[in-house]
Chain A
């Protein structure tokens, strides 16, 4: 005997209800294709492009006679064979000019990275080195950073004096050097896994020696 008092079911299901015939693996079929398309774009931007970049090898090897421009009259001569990852040659002529408040040159050779940063700095060489060490010690990614030698004098072939010291990290080691040229500070770092920079010690020393400063307007 049927129950005449039985209530009719509501015409609509609960909020966000998806009828069984519209499901695939439990998901609303209508949401699968658009979500996959969005995911493809996300992967393309967030993962595939960086991987494509990694697949393209550096083909910007420094040649004899190349000189890199750090701006404000400061240049450095790369040792042939090192790859120029960033930095302009003095022969480059960008339409936007060379003027920039700060500049960086990055060279790589095997596992060793050699980087020179130039920025305005109001202080002595020793103060610049202290500032660089302070920055390194405070960076969480640099846990294990430890200066492993006392500062020693580094003299460029032009006769300008700076300071340099060695350091070790959790799985890296390298050297830091600091110079003051006029109103500009220059920080040099050579870093790599243990042994990598020592293997390139001569090249690193040659490049530091090659730092030159020609005051603008002089």
Chain B
């Protein structure tokens, strides 16, 4: 056996390990009657849906057009967030079925089963114990970061139990948390729209609802989706996974930072005392803080997935399907891919370089799905890399 043969064998062995560890390509089936979490999820989904429908049924005759408008507006609003999360999860580490489960938890369970009841209860307790002025100042800031972040975080926790083979890394927690947060954000926004329509005695329901849609859409860019992605990643680090050793302090730190940015946002008026100088600093500073932590979380959580993709595709370099530079770019960070696309690696244009990277990613996904076997799908994915390279 030659040294080259040995190296190739090592690469294939490493590829097998990466496929096993990542869990990529493993099928996920929602119906698992022997999984107790499955029954809990179904029961809570029924409760949450019933609670939402009951509210809608109560208000529908009076605010039909505002309710429909709210749902249409925020269904459209969901699309760019979904696309963005899909772009971030570029190796499709989290299957679509699991993304839908996460979204539904955020939109129907975390909201209508937990957060709504818990928020009202804590407001009531604050008002009784600390008085109405305290409630007005600190009620939202000292309630939602705990009740809502925990309610959403439980969505990541239950998905770990429902799909342990899918949630293998902190990055999976990041993506699942993002989808939970997106569901929460969308359904919460619609409830704000309906609430807004009832403002001013419901005399200008349509105008008030449009105004609320604009307000909620503009302040929501760095809200629940971002908080929950960070929290979800922290939770996976805190709990640990078979392929992700627990990093409890770091996990807690990220979970706490999600709660902190949520709290700072909700309590900014009280903290700044309404100062026209300090308040704008919060309006800019909190989203900035959220974005920085979000990308920091993304950077650290994606290390595992990038290594897995590297090891899955590495034998393809030996086969001559992809080059070393292409492999590094596919398994690299966004910055690495940008550098690759802009540099001259023999491709004819930037667009062609992007196509090569996308086709190589597809090949990696097909290899994971086939457990490294040379299936027709893998062979086709290889031929696609060759075709787009021209």
A residues in contact (CB < 8 Å) with B: 15-16, 18, 23, 26-28, 31-32, 34-39, 41-42, 45-47, 49-50, 52-53, 56-60, 84-89, 92-97, 101-102, 117, 119-123, 128, 131-132, 134-135, 138-141, 185, 187
> Do A135 and B125 touch across chains, with their CB atoms under 8 A apart?
no
A175 vs B178: C-alpha distance in the bound complex, in angstroms? 48
> Do A92 and B129 touch across chains, with their CB atoms under 8 A apart?
no
A185 cross-chain contacts in B, Cβ below 8 A = 200-201
Interface members, chain B 122-148 (any A CB < 8 Å): 122, 124-125, 127-129, 131-133, 136-137, 147
A45-B115, A94-B270, A131-B202 given; 4 more Cβ-contact pairs under 8 Å: A32-B36, A101-B199, A138-B62, A185-B201
User: What's the minimum C-beta distance from B144 to chain A, rounded to whole angstroms?
Assistant: 12
> Do A50 and B121 touch across chains, with their CB atoms under 8 A apart?
yes
A26 vs B147: C-alpha distance in the bound complex, in angstroms? 33
* Interface residue count on the B side (C-beta < 8 Å): 51
A117 vs B114: C-alpha distance in the bound complex, in angstroms? 28
> Do B62 and A139 touch across chains, with their CB atoms under 8 A apart?
yes
| The 8 nearest A-B residue pairs measured at CB | A138-B62, A49-B121, A45-B114, A53-B121, A53-B124, A92-B133, A45-B118, A35-B36
> Do B157 and A38 touch across chains, with their CB atoms under 8 A apart?
yes
User: What's the minimum C-beta distance from B259 to chain A, rounded to whole angstroms?
Assistant: 14
B residues in contact (CB < 8 Å) with A: 27, 29, 32, 34-37, 40, 44, 57-62, 113-115, 117-118, 120-122, 124-125, 127-129, 131-133, 136-137, 147, 150-151, 154, 157-158, 160-161, 198-203, 269-270, 273-274
A107 vs B124: C-alpha distance in the bound complex, in angstroms? 14
Contact pick for B44, options A42, A57, A96, CB 8 Å: A42
A85 cross-chain contacts in B, Cβ below 8 A = 127
> Do A56 and B125 touch across chains, with their CB atoms under 8 A apart?
yes
User: What's the minimum C-beta distance from A187 to chain B, rounded to whole angstroms?
Assistant: 6
Contact pick for B157, options A34, A59, A97, CB 8 Å: A34
User: What's the minimum C-beta distance from B258 to chain A, rounded to whole angstroms?
Assistant: 16
A121 cross-chain contacts in B, Cβ below 8 A = 200-201, 203
A87 vs B133: C-alpha distance in the bound complex, in angstroms? 9
Chain B's closest residue to A141 (CB) is: B58
> Do A135 and B157 touch across chains, with their CB atoms under 8 A apart?
no
> Do B132 and A86 touch across chains, with their CB atoms under 8 A apart?
yes
> Do A15 and B29 touch across chains, with their CB atoms under 8 A apart?
yes
Contact pick for A102, options B44, B147, B199, CB 8 Å: B199
Chain A's closest residue to B62 (CB) is: A138
Task: Knowing A31-B35, A31-B37, A38-B154, say if A49 contacts B128 (CB, 8 Å).
Answer: no
User: What's the minimum C-beta distance from B285 to chain A, rounded to whole angstroms?
Assistant: 18
Chain B's closest residue to A55 (CB) is: B125
Chain B's closest residue to A132 (CB) is: B201
A35 cross-chain contacts in B, Cβ below 8 A = 36-37, 40, 158, 161
Contact pick for B270, options A47, A92, A95, CB 8 Å: A95
Pull 17 A–B residue pairs with CB atoms less than 8 Å apart, ordered by A. Answer: A16-B29, A27-B34, A32-B36, A38-B37, A38-B158, A41-B150, A41-B154, A45-B150, A53-B121, A56-B124, A60-B132, A95-B273, A96-B270, A102-B200, A140-B58, A140-B59, A185-B201
A34 cross-chain contacts in B, Cβ below 8 A = 37, 157, 160-161
A82 vs B29: C-alpha distance in the bound complex, in angstroms? 57
A96 vs B274: C-alpha distance in the bound complex, in angstroms? 6
> Do B128 and A59 touch across chains, with their CB atoms under 8 A apart?
yes
A120 vs B204: C-alpha distance in the bound complex, in angstroms? 10
B117 cross-chain contacts in A, Cβ below 8 A = 45-47, 49-50
B147 cross-chain contacts in A, Cβ below 8 A = 45, 49
Chain A's closest residue to B160 (CB) is: A34
Contact pick for B161, options A18, A31, A96, CB 8 Å: A31
A93 cross-chain contacts in B, Cβ below 8 A = 133
> Do A135 and B137 touch across chains, with their CB atoms under 8 A apart?
no
Chain B's closest residue to A87 (CB) is: B132
> Do A16 and B121 touch across chains, with their CB atoms under 8 A apart?
no
Contact pick for B122, options A36, A49, A97, A140, CB 8 Å: A49
